[in-house]
Amino acid sequence: MNRRELARKPWLWVFVGVWAVFVSALHFGGLAYDIYTKLWWWDLLTHTLSGFGVAGVLFLVFPRLFEDTRAPVVVGTLILAIGAGFEVYEYLFKDFWYGWSMAYYVEDTLVDLVVDVLGGLVFVAFVNSLTRRPTVAVGSKLEAASTEPSKRLRSDGGEQPQSETD
């Protein structure tokens, strides 16, 4: 299945929608029950999961972004930009970090952006795992090497003649 076909699958749309509700519940539940201050890793969890979810939305809306070998760079950059927008939102509504020093806020922002991108890259890997096809050339050379004991593969992929001493 190619990436465009995958992006049209109803189950993936449902998965991304449920994921968005789940991450939103974690975020707003964390605010309501003061979990962000009780569990040091809660912020990392919500940002990582949201990066995964944002990449999911990007995939559903723009599946062609994921077809290029540069997908991790493009998706990572987009998630970084979206995450930076959320960090501006956090800064404007100071209830998130009231009492934090500016140095701590900057450190928190940088860590948040890194885990946002990591979550998105995990989604890229997830899509690749669902759509990856084995390369025929490599597969046929490996099959030939395993079925013909008289031939060995060189490191460059070509065949190496068997020596008389083998």
Give residue 149's pLDDT band: very low, low, confident or very high (50, 70, 90). Answer: low
Cβ proximity of 162 and 150 under 8 Å: yes
Q: Provide the residue range defining the domain that includes 55.
A: 3-135
Q: Which residues contact 16 (CB under 8 A, 6 or more apart)?
A: 53, 56, 57, 59, 60
Q: What's the pLDDT score for residue 134?
A: 47
pTM for the model stands at 0.75
pLDDT at 85: 96
141 in a structural domain: no
Would 84 be classed as within a structural domain?
yes
CA distances from 147 to 31, 136, 144, 160 (A): 61, 16, 5, 15
Token pair listed for 8: 């049209």
pLDDT in tens, 43-71: 999 999 999 999 999 999 999 999 888 99
pLDDT digits (tens, 9 = 90+) for 102-144: 888 899 999 999 999 999 999 999 998 988 754 444 444 445 5
Whether residue 154 is contained in a domain is answered as: no
Number of domains in the chain: 1
Please check whether residue 85 lies inside any domain of the structure: yes
Is 152 among the domain residues? no
In a domain, 91, yes or no: yes
- Find the largest Cα–Cα distance for the chain: 78
Using CA atoms, how far apart are residues 41 and 49, in angstroms rounded to an integer?
12
Structural domain contains residue 153: no
19 lies in some domain: yes
